[in-house]
Amino acid sequence: MKVAITADVHLANKKDYPERFNALTYILDSIKEMKINSLIIAGDLFDASYNNYSEFDKIALKYKDIFIHVIPGNHDATIDNSVMTSKNVEIYSEPAIKSLNKSKIKFFFLPYRKDMVMGEPIAENKDKLRPNKWVLIGHGDWEQGMKVSNQLEPGVYMPLSQKDINMYKPAHVFLGHTHKSLDGESICYPGSPCGLDISETGKRRFIIFDTNNISLESHAVKTDIIYFDESFLILPLKDEESYLRKKIRSRIKEWNITDDDKSKVMVRIKIRGYSTDIRKLIEIVNDEFKGHKFYEQEDVDLSGVFLSRNLDLEEISRQIIDSVEKVIWQSSPHEPSRDDILFYALKTVYGDA
């Protein structure tokens, strides 16, 4: 049995945020085509600012062959079945254990509760949750993955510990709350299906989960907007211009965006470092990002760029850059990047000049 899973759609005023509704209908259209008839939404279907549920109701009515299972998240913690008229929507305002389409695997739908850890309701229901025969649907922080947790909402939200996972052995865990997608060994954050703002970058996805072999697939969501927040280091090299152009081109390549999707991109650019011609940087950025939209029509942020007008310091910098480039770097999210090292090395050379 296959089921689709998403979270954190954050539906809000449709006039202002049509892209969030479009992301949801894109998922519904896609799974309809795949003949999948269950969609799970792991919390924050609605943004906290929202209280007109009829727009979602209308969508649900249009896809009446798809059953939509919703748990409340921290944004929509108070919703229950009374807000909806569609019969193909169930909102789990209380913890519930269910098999979908007679699947052998049971789904434990756990609504978000403030000041509670996930381990509590799991422990209360442990007799009905046989090891490896159940899947957790929750909304909150997985303690091991907290370093990437929701930037928009600092703090701890209904945490799930590794101890809970080891003890109660869910076959898999699907959580909402962290809007960035993340896949651990037995845990998955589908992430928000449409970036909510510039902090939610890149292409988005939804999940197809197969209960027969506990496997999952990521499917891209075609969104109206794709955000990118990029930062570049400029160095006082002999050929600054081609250095920066090359860096920008390879970054854009990493985005993996087709020409069709180029117009959907909203980008924010920041440059830091030491340059011999600051004005030229704007020209290069505008040229290389031609055809892309800038987030909130902001110009490139050059507040971290310092002017280099000292031939001795430039020569010292170039020698440092050469030797740092030769070092083999093990990149890791918890370690400074090569660019960080270069930036701080040059900062030492130039002082704050």
Q: Under the rule (CB under 5 A), what is the footprint of Mn ion?
A: 8, 44
- Within 13 Å, how many C-alpha atoms sit on residue 92's CB side? 23
The smaller minimum CB distance to Mn ion, of residues 39 and 281, is found at: 39
- Angstrom distances, CA of residue 27 to CA of 3, 52, 94, 101, 178: 12, 21, 26, 20, 19
The smaller minimum CB distance to Mn ion, of residues 44 and 240, is found at: 44
Q: What is the rounded distance in angstroms from the CA atom of residue 179 to the CA atom of residue 44?
A: 10
Backbone angles phi and psi of 73, in degrees to 5: -110, -170
Torsion of CA 120, 123, 128, 134, to 10 degrees: 70
Residue whose CB is nearest to Mn ion in the complex, by number? 44
The smaller minimum CB distance to Mn ion, of residues 46 and 289, is found at: 46
Rounded to a whole number of angstroms, the minimum distance from the CB of residue 213 to Mn ion is 30
Q: What is the rounded distance in angstroms from the CA atom of residue 258 to the CA atom of residue 275?
A: 32
The smaller minimum CB distance to Mn ion, of residues 8 and 141, is found at: 8
Backbone angles phi and psi of 56, in degrees to 5: -70, -40
Rounded to a whole number of angstroms, the minimum distance from the CB of residue 5 to Mn ion is 15
Rounded to a whole number of angstroms, the minimum distance from the CB of residue 119 to Mn ion is 21
The smaller minimum CB distance to Mn ion, of residues 63 and 112, is found at: 112
247-271 b/e (C-beta count within 10 Å ≥ 16 → b): bbeebbeebebeeeeeebbbbbbeb
Rounded to a whole number of angstroms, the minimum distance from the CB of residue 113 to Mn ion is 15
The smaller minimum CB distance to Mn ion, of residues 76 and 240, is found at: 76
The smaller minimum CB distance to Mn ion, of residues 9 and 257, is found at: 9
Do 177 and 8 touch, CB atoms closer than 8 A? yes
Residues 6+ apart with CB under 8 A from 52: 13
Rounded to a whole number of angstroms, the minimum distance from the CB of residue 336 to Mn ion is 30
Show the beta-strand stretches assigned E in 145-280: 172-176, 182-183, 187-189, 204-210, 215-221, 226-234, 265-275
Rounded to a whole number of angstroms, the minimum distance from the CB of residue 151 to Mn ion is 11
Rounded to a whole number of angstroms, the minimum distance from the CB of residue 290 to Mn ion is 34
